[in-house]
């Protein structure tokens, strides 16, 4: 596995591979790799001849008072994990590579409206940071396909929209959420949880499953279901940020199911740690 830090190095490797007729897949991450990330790498290796992974903790997507400083940085362990996967190239850019004129002065990529709902309402500007850095990374790597986790459903949705709106060429592939045995979605932020919080955390997924069962049983009052979800989380010792049942294809809210696929999205706090999860509900 090659490690590169500059855009020029990435360009020259990818150009070499593409001119040999090879397909290139890209997996952007913030590192502290777990099985969820590794599943993206494995799916990438199925879709393409060459897999490029980036590890970059993007300062632009963290708000004031968020966990940018404490975000786990485990590069050597990550590198070791990736050497056991079919990854050709690890891209570990510095802030100077990604934001050569400083992050405040950088050109930004904004997907309006959809960046301000759900996670965007409690994390203002977060998704501007995400779409901006992913646009930069896609322009550097120029992959044939980019793989993203469904765990970050809104992020996946926004990146699909950005790629479509800006006529970017990569195919965007969503990979189902990888979970711990007790259902908790794997996340680098799970390491912030103490033992008691970790024991409570699977209630988030249980709550989503319970709401899905109610929907599948024919319950039609979306607002009442969302309220039940908040109560469930509170009773389980979590502090709900939001629970929202929306159309999976558009993230549009709805009052009653209309036969389209739905997605139940939730964010909740355990202490200072904010966990997110979602579950799709087939009609
Ligand atoms: P992150 O390092 O948290 O920015 O995540 C990098 C990529 O991995 C994103 O596309 C995430 O959606 C994806 N990802 C994170 N956790 C999981 C998981 N548990 N299952 C599947 N994909 C995940």
111 falls within a domain: yes
Domain edge (last residue) among 175, 205, 236: 175
Asked whether residue 156 falls in the same domain as residue 229, the answer is no
The answer on 231 and 168 residing in a single domain is no
What range defines the domain where residue 257 resides?
188-281
Catalytic residue among 11, 37, 101, 126: 37
pLDDT over 80 at 96, yes or no: yes
180 inside domain: no
Nearest C-alpha neighbor of 185 from the set 220, 215, 224, 151? 151
Cβ proximity of 70 and 35 under 8 Å = no
To the query of whether residue 101 is one of the catalytic residues in this protein, the response is no
pLDDT in tens, 128-150: 999 999 999 999 999 999 999 99
Same domain, 214 and 248: yes
Ligand 1 proximity of 148 Cβ (cutoff 6 Å): yes
Shared domain check, 7 and 94: yes
Tokens of 174: 């969503």
pLDDT of residue 271: 98
Q: Are residues 75 and 100 in the same domain?
A: yes
Ligand 1 close to Cβ of residue 79 (< 6 A): no
pLDDT tens figures, 22-61:
999 999 999 999 999 999 999 999 999 999 999 999 999 9
Task: Give yes or no: residues 161 and 87 share one domain.
Answer: yes
Q: Assess whether the C-beta atom of 40 lies below 6 angstroms from ligand 1.
A: yes
Note whether 124 and 60 are same-domain residues. yes
Based on the fold, state whether residues 84 and 25 are members of the same structural domain: yes
Ligand 1 atom with minimal separation from the 178 CA: 20
Q: Give me ligand 1 centre to Cα 149, in Å.
A: 5
Report whether residue 174 contacts ligand 1, using a CB cutoff of 6 Å.
no
Span from the CA of 19 to the centroid of ligand 1 (angstroms): 30
Whether 155 and 235 map to the same domain: the answer is: no
Check: CB of residue 73 under 8 Å from CB of residue 32.
yes
Could you tell me if 91 and 223 lie in one domain?
Answer: no
Domain shared by 167 and 63, yes or no:
yes
Q: How many domains does the chain have?
A: 2
């Amino acid at each position: 596995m090659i490690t590169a830090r500059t855009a020029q190095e990435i360009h020259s490797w990818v150009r070499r591979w593409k001119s040999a007729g090879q397909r290139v897949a890209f997996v952007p991450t913030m590192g502290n790799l777990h099985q969820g990330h590794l599943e993206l790498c494995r799916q990438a290796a199925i879709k393409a001849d060459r897999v490029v992974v980036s590890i970059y903790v993007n300062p632009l997507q963290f708000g004031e008072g968020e966990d940018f400083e404490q975000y786990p940085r485990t590069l050597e362990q990550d590198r070791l994990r990736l050497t056991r996967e079919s990854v050709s190239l690890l891209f570990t850019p510095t802030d100077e590579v990604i934001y050569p004129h400083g992050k405040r002065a950088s050109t930004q990529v904004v997907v309006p409206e959809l960046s301000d709902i759900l996670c965007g309402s409690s994390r203002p500007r977060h998704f501007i940071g995400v779409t901006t850095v992913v646009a930069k990374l896609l322009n550097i790597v120029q992959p044939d396909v980019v793989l993203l986790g469904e765990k970050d459903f809104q992020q996946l949705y926004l990146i699909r929209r950005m790629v479509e709106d800006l006529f970017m060429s990569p195919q965007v592939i969503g990979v189902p959420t990888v979970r711990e045995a007790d259902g908790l979605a794997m996340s680098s932020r799970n390491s912030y949880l103490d033992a008691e919080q970790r024991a409570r955390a699977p209630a988030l997924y249980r709550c989503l499953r319970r709401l899905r069962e109610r929907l599948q049983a024919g319950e039609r009052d979306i607002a009442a279901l969302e309220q039940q979800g908040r109560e469930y989380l509170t009773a389980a010792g979590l502090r709900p940020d939001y629970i929202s049942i929306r159309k999976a294809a558009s993230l549009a809210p709805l009052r009653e199911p209309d036969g389209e696929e739905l997605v139940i999205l939730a964010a909740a706090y355990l202490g200072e740690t904010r966990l997110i999860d979602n579950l799709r509900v087939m009609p």
